[in-house]
C-alpha cells in the first residue's frame, strides 16, 4: 500500500549505550560506572534549587519544576488501552506541531476523523483518542497490521507504532519493563536503545539518557552488540507523565496536513503519470479534491482513468468523498478541429479544459484548479503557452509538478500506487500537430477561439457523468449476473444519458432518468419489476445496476452501452438512432 511501511524508526535520542561486553574500557563501562553515588545524591538533595519543588530523586529521576501541579490532562492518553485491545500511537508531522493552539486543535480533530474513517472503511472496530502531542488508536490485536497500513496513508501523520503500555513510578520501573519486553527481540542481534520524553517535560521527572544506559546494559546481556547507526533491532520508549510506551518498529507516513483542512479544489486528470501525482501532492497539503476528466478516447479511456483515480480515492482520500466528473469531449474537439488553425489545437484544447474545470469548481465551491503540467514537458507546456492557457480561467491554477523531471514524477507514481495502472493508459489525443505552436500569444489565441461555438462546451459540461469514486465498484461492471444482451417486452428500460441524447434517440418505450437523478431515486423503485439500464459506454448503467441489486431490485445493464443497444434495436426491428 505504499513505501512508508516497515521502515525503521527515526532516532528519538542520539545518546544510547555503546560498546560491548568484551570492551570494558568502552563507553558502556564509562556511563555505567559514572552514576552518582547515594552520598552524592544526598548532597544534591541538600542544595536548595530556586523555583523547584524539592523531592527525593532516585537514580534516573530529575527534579521537576512545579511538579506539584501534576501532569496535564493533555499529556496523557484519556484512558488506557482496553483489555483485549492493542494500541497504536500516531505522531504528527512538523507542519502540525508548529501551529497555534486553535489551529492545531482543528487539524487534530480532522486527522482523528480521517483515521476513524479509514479504519471503519476496512471494518476495523476502533477507539481514537488524542492529546496535545499524540493520537491513540485502540483496536483488536488481529487487525493491528492492517490498521498500521491504513494509518500510514493518512495525511498529517508522520509515523505510527504498535506499542506496549506500562505504568511507572520511577526510572527503574521503565528499565525493568523494557528488559522484559525487549530481551528476546534483541537476542544475538545488533541493537540500539532510544528513549524520549513526550509532552510536558516538567511533568516527567525522568532522565531519558539514564533509561537508555541502564536498559542498554541489561539488554546487552543477551544481544550481540550495540550499534548507533545500523541496529538490527531497536528498543524504543516514549515516556509520558504517568506511563511509558514501548515499541520496536515504526511505520513512516507522508506527513503534510490532514486532508480536508485546507479547503477544496478540482484536479484535471487524464489517467497518465502526471495528474494523479499532482493530485496526491495537493492532498498531502490538506486540499480536498474532485476530479475533472475530459474524455478524448471513449469508454476505454474513461474506464482506465477511473481505475487510476479510484486508487487515489480508496487509498489516500479517507475522510472525504472525491467525485469524478467525466465530460465527453468528442463534439468539442470536432468543433475545434473544424475552426482552429492546426498548430494551436493543443493550446486551445487545454484552455477549453480549464473552462470546464472552472465551471465544476464553482459548482463544488472549490477555490482552485490543479493540473499535472511541468515546464517544457510537451509543446503546450512551454512557459509562454502556459501563460496563455492560464488566462482561460480566473481561478488560481496550482501546478505542483512545475519543476519536476519525468523520472521524479514516475518515482512518486510508484510510491503512491498509481504507476502500474497509469502505464497502461493509452495516448488518446489525436490533436497533436506536426508543428505545434510553442510561443502562442493571448491575442492570437483569442482570435482563433472566435470560430468556436461556446454552446458545445456548455452542453458537454451539463451532460457530464458524475461518479462517487469511493462508492464505485469497477469490478462489478464485468459481472455476468448484472449484464444482459436482450430486452423483454415486460422489462422497464431506463435511459441514463442526457436529455438531449434521449430526445435524439432512445430505445422504444425507454424511460428517461438522468444518471444523477437515478442515483437518488433507485431505493424507492418497485421491487416487482425487472429493470434494464443503458448509457453511453455501460459504465454508469453497470454501476447503478450493481447498487440496485444490493437494494434487492431485479436490475441489469445492457452490456456494451449505446453502440450495443442500437445494434440490438436494429436486429430486433426497433427504431435506430
CATH code assigned at 558: 3.40.250.10
Residues 6+ apart with CB under 8 A from 104: 96, 97, 132
Q: Is residue 43 part of a domain?
A: no
Evaluate if residue 24 carries a pLDDT over 70: no
Residues 248 and 270 placed together within one structural domain of the fold: no
pLDDT at 448: 96
Q: How confident is the model at residue 481 (pLDDT cuts 50, 70, 90)?
A: confident
306, 351, 361: which is closest to 329 by C-alpha?
A: 351
Evaluate if residue 32 carries a pLDDT over 80: no
**Which range has the worst mean pLDDT, 29-33, 115-119, 424-428, 486-490?**
29-33
Q: Is residue 438 part of a domain?
A: yes
Match 502562442 to its residue by C-alpha cell.
440
Evaluate if residue 15 carries a pLDDT over 90: no
Residues 275 and 306 placed together within one structural domain of the fold: yes
Q: 410 by DSSP, 3-state: which?
A: helix
Q: DSSP assignment of 24-57, as one string?
A: TTSHHHHHHHTSPPHHHHHHHHTS--TTS-----
pLDDT at 48: 32
Q: How confident is the model at residue 80 (pLDDT cuts 50, 70, 90)?
A: low
Query: In whole angstroms, how far apart are CA 266 and each of 88, 174, 297, 368?
Result: 34, 50, 21, 7
More confident call, 10 vs 372? 372
107, 142, 105, 104: which is closest to 122 by C-alpha?
A: 142
Q: 163 by DSSP, 3-state: which?
A: strand
Q: Is residue 429 part of a domain?
A: yes
Residues 141 and 156 placed together within one structural domain of the fold: yes
Q: Is residue 19 part of a domain?
A: no
DSSP state for residue 13 in the 8-state scheme:
-
Q: Is residue 3 part of a domain?
A: no
Residues catalogued as catalytic:
535
**Residue range 42-62: mean pLDDT, rounded:** 39
Q: How confident is the model at residue 28 (pLDDT cuts 50, 70, 90)?
A: very low
Q: How confident is the model at residue 60 (pLDDT cuts 50, 70, 90)?
A: low
Residues 436 and 488 placed together within one structural domain of the fold: no
CATH code assigned at 289: 3.40.50.620
Give the CA count within 13 Å in the CB-facing half-sphere of 464.
24
The C-alpha angle with vertex 576 and arms to 570 and 577, in degrees rounded to 5, equals 145
pLDDT in tens, 426-438: 776 656 777 888 9
Evaluate if residue 50 carries a pLDDT over 70: no
Residues 453 and 478 placed together within one structural domain of the fold: no
Residues 352 and 224 placed together within one structural domain of the fold: no
- 10 Å Cβ neighbour count for 389? 24
Residues 134 and 66 placed together within one structural domain of the fold: yes
pLDDT at 426: 75
Residues 6+ apart with CB under 8 A from 39: none
Q: Is residue 71 part of a domain?
A: yes
| Domain around 406 | 264-468
Evaluate if residue 512 carries a pLDDT over 70: yes
Asked whether the beta carbons of 10 and 159 are under 8 A apart, the reply is yes
**Which range has the worst mean pLDDT, 81-85, 183-187, 211-215, 559-563?**
81-85
Match 415486460 to its residue by C-alpha cell.
490
CATH code assigned at 232: 3.30.2130.30
Q: Record the cell numbers describing residue 427, joined without a space.
A: 495516448
Alpha-carbon span 242 to 203, nearest angstrom:
9
pLDDT in tens, 143-193: 999 999 999 999 999 999 999 999 999 999 999 999 999 999 999 999 999
Give the number of domains in the chain: 3
Evaluate if residue 290 carries a pLDDT over 50: yes
How many residues are given for the chain? 577
pLDDT at 40: 33
Residue where a domain terminates, one of 433, 468, 503: 468
Residues 364 and 431 placed together within one structural domain of the fold: yes
Characterize the bridge pairing of strands 530-534 and 288-295: unpaired
Q: Is residue 12 part of a domain?
A: no
pLDDT at 73: 37
Average pLDDT over all residues of the chain: 85
pLDDT at 79: 63
Residues 396 and 498 placed together within one structural domain of the fold: no
Residues 222 and 316 placed together within one structural domain of the fold: no
Alpha-carbon span 56 to 41, nearest angstrom:
9
Q: How confident is the model at residue 127 (pLDDT cuts 50, 70, 90)?
A: very high
Residue where a domain terminates, one of 211, 226, 252: 252
Alpha-carbon span 425 to 360, nearest angstrom:
24
Residues 6+ apart with CB under 8 A from 141: 84, 85, 86
Residues 298 and 163 placed together within one structural domain of the fold: no
Residue where a domain terminates, one of 416, 435, 468: 468
Residues 6+ apart with CB under 8 A from 497: 463, 514, 515, 535, 536, 562
Alpha-carbon span 353 to 361, nearest angstrom:
12
Query: In whole angstroms, how far apart are CA 382 and each of 230, 287, 398, 442, 567?
Result: 46, 27, 16, 14, 45
Asked whether the beta carbons of 198 and 90 are under 8 A apart, the reply is no
Distance of CA 451 to the CA centre of its chain: 42
Residues 318 and 362 placed together within one structural domain of the fold: yes
Amino acid at each position: 500500500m505504499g513505501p512508508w511501511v516497515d521502515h525503521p524508526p527515526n532516532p528519538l535520542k542520539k545518546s544510547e549505550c555503546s560498546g560491548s561486553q568484551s570492551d570494558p574500557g568502552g563507553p558502556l563501562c564509562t556511563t555505567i560506572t559514572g552514576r552518582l553515588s547515594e552520598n552524592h545524591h544526598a548532597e544534591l538533595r541538600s542544595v536548595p534549587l530556586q523555583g523547584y519543588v524539592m523531592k527525593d530523586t532516585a537514580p534516573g529521576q530529575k527534579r521537576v519544576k512545579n511538579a506539584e501541579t501534576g501532569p496535564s490532562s493533555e499529556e496523557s492518553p484519556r484512558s488506557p488501552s482496553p483489555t483485549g485491545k492493542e494500541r497504536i500511537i500516531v505522531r504528527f508531522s512538523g507542519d502540525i506541531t508548529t501551529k497555534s493552539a486553535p489551529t492545531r486543535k482543528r487539524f487534530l480533530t480532522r486527522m482523528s476523523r480521517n483515521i476513524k474513517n479509514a479504519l471503519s472503511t476496512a471494518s476495523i472496530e476502533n477507539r481514537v483518542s488524542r492529546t496535545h502531542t499524540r493520537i491513540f488508536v485502540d483496536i483488536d490485536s488481529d487487525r493491528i497490521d492492517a490498521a498500521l497500513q491504513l494509518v500510514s496513508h493518512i495525511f498529517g501523520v508522520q509515523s505510527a507504532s504498535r506499542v506496549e503500555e506500562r505504568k511507572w513510578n520511577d526510572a527503574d520501573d521503565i528499565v525493568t519493563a523494557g528488559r522484559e519486553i525487549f530481551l528476546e527481540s534483541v537476542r544475538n542481534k545488533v541493537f540500539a536503545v532510544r528513549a524520549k520524553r513526550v509532552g510536558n517535560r516538567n511533568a516527567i521527572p525522568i532522565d531519558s539518557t539514564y533509561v537508555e544506559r541502564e536498559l542498554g546494559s541489561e539488554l546487552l546481556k543477551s544481544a550481540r552488540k550495540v550499534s548507533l547507526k545500523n541496529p538490527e533491532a531497536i528498543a524504543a520508549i516514549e515516556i509520558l507523565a504517568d506511563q511509558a510506551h514501548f515499541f520496536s518498529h515504526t511505520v513512516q507516513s507522508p506527513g503534510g496536513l490532514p486532508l480536508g483542512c485546507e479547503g477544496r479544489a478540482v484536479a484535471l486528470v487524464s489517467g497518465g503519470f502526471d495528474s494523479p501525482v499532482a493530485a496526491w501532492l495537493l492532498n498531502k497539503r490538506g486540499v480536498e479534491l474532485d476530479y475533472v476528466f475530459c474524455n478524448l478516447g471513449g469508454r476505454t479511456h474513461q474506464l482506465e482513468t477511473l481505475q487510476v483515480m479510484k486508487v487515489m480515492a480508496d487509498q489516500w482520500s479517507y475522510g472525504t468523498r472525491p467525485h469524478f466528473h467525466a465530460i465527453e469531449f468528442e463534439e468539442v474537439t470536432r468543433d475545434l478541429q473544424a475552426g482552429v488553425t492546426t498548430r494551436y489545437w493543443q493550446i486551445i484544447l487545454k484552455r477549453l479544459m480549464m473552462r470546464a474545470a472552472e465551471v465544476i469548481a464553482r459548482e463544488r465551491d472549490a477555490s482552485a484548479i490543479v493540473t499535472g503540467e511541468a515546464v517544457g514537458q510537451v509543446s503546450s507546456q512551454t512557459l509562454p503557452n502556459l501563460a496563455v492557457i492560464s488566462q482561460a480561467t480566473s481561478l488560481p491554477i496550482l501546478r505542483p509538478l512545475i519543476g519536476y523531471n519525468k523520472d521524479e514524477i514516475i518515482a512518486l507514481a510508484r510510491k503512491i500506487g498509481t504507476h502500474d495502472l497509469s502505464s497502461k493508459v493509452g495516448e488518446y489525443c489525436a490533436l497533436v500537430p506536426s508543428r505545434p505552436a510553442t510561443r502562442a500569444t493571448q491575442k492570437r489565441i483569442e482570435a482563433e477561439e472566435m470560430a468556436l461555438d461556446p454552446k458545445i462546451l456548455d452542453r458537454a459540461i451539463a451532460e457530464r457523468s458524475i461518479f462517487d469514486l469511493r462508492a464505485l465498484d469497477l469490478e462489478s461492471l464485468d459481472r455476468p449476473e448484472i449484464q444482459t444482451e436482450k430486452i423483454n417486452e415486460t422489462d422497464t428500460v431506463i435511459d441514463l444519458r442526457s436529455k438531449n441524447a434521449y430526445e435524439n434517440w432512445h430505445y422504444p418505450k425507454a424511460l428517461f432518468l438522468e444518471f444523477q437523478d437515478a442515483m437518488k431515486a433507485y431505493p424507492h423503485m418497485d421491487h416487482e419489476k425487472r429493470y434494464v439500464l443503458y448509457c453511453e459506454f455501460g459504465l454508469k448503467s453497470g454501476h447503478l445496476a450493481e447498487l440496485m441489486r444490493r437494494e434487492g431490485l431485479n436490475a441489469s445493464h445492457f452490456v456494451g452501452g449505446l453502440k450495443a443497444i442500437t445494434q440490438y434495436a436494429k436486429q430486433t426491428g426497433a427504431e435506430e438512432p
